[in-house]
Amino acid sequence: MIFAANLKCNHTRSTFKLYADQLNRLSWDKNNEIIVFPPSIAFLEQDLNFTQGAQNFYPCINGAYTGEIGKEHLDEFGIKCVLIGHSERRKFENNDFIKEKFDFAKKYGFKVIFCIGEDIKTKKENKTNEFLRKQLENIDLKYDKLIIAYEPIYSIGSGISADLKDIENVLNFLNSLSKAKLLYGGSVNENNIAQILNINHCDGVLIGTAALKIENFIKLIKDNSC
């Protein structure tokens, strides 16, 4: 199983070091993969027993891109996993730019967690599959380091996860499009994670709020490991 934590705009370098130190004290079943996306200011330059990923980056090595994070900066911290397409980034990034980021990440061999998800209006109009297909149409679905995370926008940060049957239907649909591993994200917590991980084609979870405190994240992993 994949247990990924998106810390968003939370934690400083000092608090993330405490977070990472606690993760580093634990050993994981070889069938589990742990990925944590801290804010870039909190990247750690140390040996970690989990994968440290980047929430965002600019598709460049370096250059005249004020305020951006290039590959050169990710390399300094040994980061080879990136998050692309999160709905909180799609507010600022169009499909062309998202494709540019994906193509750059693929060129340099990054593991990509590619986020997709529909809003409540699209869901109520029964256009979810059509909407998700469009979000995926510009990327290489055969890329061997691709992971797709289904995160319905109406569930992110709301405390209300999508209906289990809806998740199952979407993951079945995504599996028909790509053999990439599939995650679910959107108000994953201790009350629903076990049921979500039992859904057909679910290879793991992308956790937000419930992973901000390290003791909570560790409990979610320990209680639901393979």
> Which is the catalytic residue, given 11, 33, 118, 151?
151
List the Cα angle 117/123/128 in 5-degree steps. Answer: 55
Tokens coding 21: 């130190």
Tokens coding 34: 């742990």
CA distance linking residue 89 with residue 19, whole number of Å: 24
Catalytic residue flag (residue 201): no
Residue 50: which residues within 8 A CB-CB, separation 6 or more?
Answer: 20, 23, 24, 28, 34, 35, 36
Which residue type sits at 198? N
List the alpha helices (DSSP H) in the chain.
13-24, 71-76, 87-90, 95-107, 120-124, 128-136, 164-177, 193-197, 214-224
Q: In whole angstroms, how far apart are CA 9 and each of 40, 55, 107, 147?
A: 9, 10, 28, 22
For the four alpha carbons of 225, 31, 79 and 148, in that order, the dihedral sign comes to negative
91 phi and psi angles, rounded to 5 deg = -65, -25
Of 83, 88, 119, whose CA–CA distance to 4 is shortest?
Answer: 83
> Which is the catalytic residue, given 11, 33, 86, 118?
86
Catalytic residue flag (residue 76): no
Q: Which residue do the tokens 């004020």 mark?
A: 66
Q: What number of other Cβ atoms are within 10 A of residue 217's Cβ?
A: 21
Catalytic site positions? 86, 151
